[in-house]
Amino acid sequence: MDKEKIRRQIEDLRDKIRHHDYLYYVLDKPVITDSEYDQLVRQLIELEEEYPEFYSPDSPTQRVGGSPVQGFGTVMHSYPMLSLANAFSKEELLDFDRRVRNMVGNKVEYVVEFKIDGLSVSLEYENGRLVRGATRGDGQIGENVTENLKTIRSIPLKLNKPYSMTVRGEVFMPKDHFVKLNKQRELEGLPTFANPRNAAAGSLRQLDPRITATRHLDIYLFNLEYVSDYTIESHMQTMEIMKEAGLKISPFLYMTSSMEEIIELCQEWADKRHNLAFDIDGLVIKVNSMAQRQQLGSTSKTPRWAIAYKFPAQQEETFIKDIEIQVGRTGVLTPTALLDPVVVAGSTVSRASLHNEDYIRDKDIRIGDHVIIQKAGDIIPEVVRVLKDKRSGNEKEFVMPKLCPVCGAHAIRLEGEVAVRCTGNACPAQQRRLIIHFASREAMDIRGLGPAIVDQLLANKLINDAADLYYLEFDQLINLERMGNKSANNLLKAIEESKERELEKLIFGLGIRMVGVRAAHLIAEKFGHLDRIIEAQEIDFLAIDEIGEKIAQSITAFFREEQNLKLIDKLRKAGVNLQQRSALLNQEEEKKEHPWNGKTFVLTGTLDEYTRNQAKALIEERGGRVTSSVSKKTDYVVAGENPGSKLDKAKELGITVIDQQQFKSML
């Protein structure tokens, strides 16, 4: 048979199947029977097996992989997958509206969509073909789950149009399939999933895509990040583009300029959401205009042009058996209610944070109280109110301890703060959490160093802080419980490998208050070396886009503490990398182009705006070098207040003298 004719027949079958997939899985309007559809697929499979030279990765037959993957690789998102700020009340929505209008004017259109309760993913298409799919991860880096996403029939492997585009959506499990899945797992003696969101997340992250294919996952696309050959003016325009391309867009789109109308929608859907075939936990409100979005911008974590209204959480009654204190890695003492277990929003709750002593006092919470609890944002258990009419008189008032329950140091509350903090710098509770954080995947990623090993290392006094990890020896580890030769060697290898992590990992691992993964990346890219960060002032951090005043204050305060500098010195001596290599490569390129590159400077006198070390660092960043004495090889002398004899020597040799204002201008 003519090969070209066969090729056309195969392509024709693929196009027909894609068309019927779109009608069935996206529009929910099938026009042929299941048996007719199956017959088309069977014909295509037979032809592809007989003529393997016409294989195509975007064929409908390639949706289910043939074998499990060894593990998920990582994907750097082309566009950061930011979180949304949350609103829980009418007042918070009105505040959002005021902030938007204050920045862009009163003429604002909003688009309202469902907030699907699932797992956020990114899809990338090149010339109309699906090439990559990833989970949100930390917003910058996600897991490559392309093969699993291919099993979701509502995701086209080939678009209707040959666009190159990046889109965002929410993978979810319909309620009826969730019920069926849990019934099947009960029959098989397997643990059931708490809710459809957990079931969807667990299903998408299966190492075997054949398992994912049995879970009947679905998706709605809600954001178009990039598309070729288009100038985007509005969000509604992006939804039309995605729809035309064959993507399954958000099922509810409502546009209005009235925040009062949006508030009514939120109240309406809080009651109607249970009638949907899938879970939603709120509504998302987005500014429609792309130009206005550009004006509003984003913080390091959230866009300022969108907000998520979260529906009121499910509430249940329970009983406070006791209140205990947990000491966090920043030394904060947090009271936690130990509850009589109760199922809330699909999972069993036995603990709830009471936040601080003001929270306890304002709500008049006592040990022995009957209380109403809910999950804040459907995630974090919290006490809503006390059922005072059920008190017996035997309830006990709770008093915050004056001493840290872990180390015995004084616990104090500073003026202007609600938190009570342990003053013990070497508090084991803080060190334990700091070390676990330091070794975590987002930080130094020391594989095999879990909480149980950290507990043993601390209990055996083998470490006191995170830096001590780099001084551990095999003979020390081999004596720990359940630590064999292989485990000890693997842990030492993992610790050694972590020395080469990028600076941003180390910054995040240090546990600086309010410095998350994104902020750590921005700081590392800006300064390139930890020593420059230590020397920097608050104003230097404020110069970084997305870094605010509180974060800048927190960073400078951290590096003023002697105990923190001692920790860094131990890390330095152990050979831990203190550089952001990508930033340094960029800086080296900039040095080559800067007019100071290769020039020699001498500093004399007092500079008003810079310390001597800061001025030296600024010169070296631009390719210059600083020496202590003036000679014929000196190119510039920077003269501050009371310059001294070096200025006289410079004038004698005819060397260019720069005053403070000139130095600043040249920078």
The residues assigned a catalytic role are 115
Buried b / exposed e over 285-324, threshold 16 CB at 10 Å, is: bbbbbbebbeebeebbbebbbbbbbbbebeebebbbeebe
Contacts of range 194-198, beta carbons closer than 8 Å, 24 or more positions apart = 194/346, 194/347, 195/117, 195/279, 195/345, 195/346, 195/347, 196/117, 196/118, 196/172, 196/278, 196/279, 197/117, 197/118, 197/119, 197/172, 197/279
User: Burial of 484 by CB count in 10 Å (0-12 exposed, 13-18 middle, 19+ buried)?
Assistant: exposed
Amino acid identity of 490?
N
Tell me the β-bridge partners of 338: 322, 351
Residue 278 gets which letter from DSSP?
S
DSSP 11-49: HHHHHHHHHHHIIIIIS----S-HHHHHHHHHHHHHHHH
Report the alpha-carbon distance of residue 273 to residue 269 in Å, rounded.
5
Q: Where are the beta strands (DSSP E) in 78-186?
A: 86-87, 110-116, 119-126, 129-135, 141-143, 165-172
Amino acid identity of 170?
E
Question: Under DSSP, is residue 228 helix (H, G, I), strand (E, B) or coil?
Answer: coil
615: closest CA among 606, 654, 555? Answer: 606
Token code pair at residue 641 = 């207040």
Question: Under DSSP, is residue 663 helix (H, G, I), strand (E, B) or coil?
Answer: helix
CB of 575 within 8 A of CB of 470?
A: yes
Report the alpha-carbon distance of residue 571 to residue 531 in Å, rounded.
13
Q: Which residues contact 129 (CB under 8 A, 6 or more apart)?
A: 57, 58, 157, 158, 159
Element housing 624 (H / E): none
CB of 527 within 8 A of CB of 536?
A: yes
Amino acid identity of 440?
S
Q: Which single residue is written with the structure tokens 């081999």?
A: 478
CB of 109 within 8 A of CB of 261?
A: no
Torsion of Cα atoms, 30 then 31 then 33 then 37, to 10°: -80
